[in-house]
Amino acid sequence: GEDVEQSLFLSVREGDSSVINCTYTDSSSTYLYWYKQEPGAGLQLLTYIFSNMDMKQDQRLTVLLNKKDKHLSLRIADTQTGDSAIYFCAEGAGGSYIPTFGRGTSLIVHP
């Protein structure tokens, strides 16, 4: 079955770049997503990438997709304390309307 793996924690200093990594197993994945969850809140879609793309950039966010290795990363440039949250990777396969989520990476930004 499908599986999405993420490291559980990442700690960075304010102003540095953060890179959150994710691996998935379903080779038929069509969409890959990054969601952000702040304390006490639901998930907020940050960005997504189609499987036929290698990279997507949106302001401070850069998503890289290595389809061969089934590896997805989210880079946050100039990380701020407001970026502290849990980041979830998720994948959706063609024909399935139910995405598979990773366990989330808790990003801690130190001043």
**Residue 72: phi, psi to the nearest 5?**
-125, 140
How many Cα atoms are found within 13 Å in the side-chain-facing hemisphere of 59? Answer: 4
- For other proteins, what does the binding mask look like between residues 18 and 57, x meaning CB under 8 A? -------------x-x-x----xxxxxx--x---------
Query: At its nearest, how many Å lie between other proteins and the CB of residue 99?
Result: 5
Exactly one of 18, 22, 87, 102 binds other proteins (CB under 8 A); which one?
102
| CA 45 to centroid of chain Cα atoms | 10
- Secondary structure of residue 81 in the 3-state scheme: helix
- What is the binding site for other proteins (CB under 8 A)? 4, 8, 31, 33, 35, 40-45, 48, 88, 90, 92, 96-99, 101-104
